[in-house]
Amino acid sequence: MAIDHWATAPTLHGERVLLRPTVLADVDGLARAYDLEATRYFLYGNNHSGPPTDESVADALASDRQVLTQVEAATGEIVGTTSIYDMSDVHRRVTVGYTWLSQRTRGSAINSEAKLLLLDHCFDALGVARVQFNVDDLNERSQRAVLGIGATKEGELRRHARRRDGSWRTTMVYSVIDQEWPQVRARLVERIAQRSG
């Protein structure tokens, strides 16, 4: 029987990273990987803005997100999480986000390869026309990373959400569309090669 990729979270294998559906047993590994204050600051002010707990992971798994655990292939260590959400089969669009990585793996080829795996899945398995990324306006590092993979900045959503400290966040909106994907993919592959060297 064929897999309904719109209803089932994927397992995506790379050379450096494995993305697989999150399970409750991942809580301890996710909590160990959650080691950056910047991660805590930029997440929305809800029960997902603190270190992962049984409650917060169960809540994420009960949501309409496809929640994925990021595992370093070489060590088997859990190094972060990401999600596919706001999925519209009718309009062929998704958003990739709720992403964070451990301090040790930020800026490494693991992050770039994870984006390649996710975008390959979205454009090939799901057949989307658009993948969106939403980034906090103060999170300059993530904005540079999204631009670095070749996404296009489209605009901003003012006073869009609250951070965990109660301050208002402007959300910067970026996207990659299907017509751009071949060029963006080639750029990502080159980026991974550079970061692996």
Domain ranges within the chain, ordered by starting residue: 12-196
pLDDT at 38 over 80: no
Read off the pLDDT band of 123 (50, 70, 90).
very high
Whole-angstrom distance, CA of residue 40 vs CA of residue 58: 19
**Which superfamily, per CATH, for 12-196?**
Gcn5-related N-acetyltransferase (GNAT) (3.40.630.30)
Higher pLDDT, 165 or 39: 165
Lowest mean pLDDT segment, chosen from 10-24, 32-46, 176-190 = 32-46
Phi, psi of 136 (to 5 degrees): -60, 135
Per-residue buried b or exposed e for 3-18, using 16+ beta carbons within 10 Å of the residue's own CB? eebeeebbebebebbb
- For residue 187, the 8-state DSSP code is H
Predicted pLDDT at 195 = 79
Confidence band of 187 (pLDDT split at 50, 70, 90): very high
- pLDDT higher at 173 or 36: 173
Residue 150, classed as helix, strand or coil, is coil
pTM of the model: 0.92
Q: How many C-beta atoms lie closer than 10 Å to residue 163's C-beta?
A: 17
Start-to-end CA distance of the chain, whole Å, equals: 41
> What is the reported pLDDT for 2?
67
**Confidence bin at 32 (pLDDT 50/70/90):** very high
pLDDT level of residue 40 (50, 70, 90 thresholds): low
pLDDT tens across 46-82, in order? Answer: 555 578 889 989 999 999 999 999 999 999 999 999 9
Query: What are the DSSP E strand ranges found in 2-91?
Result: 12-13, 17-21, 66-72, 78-88
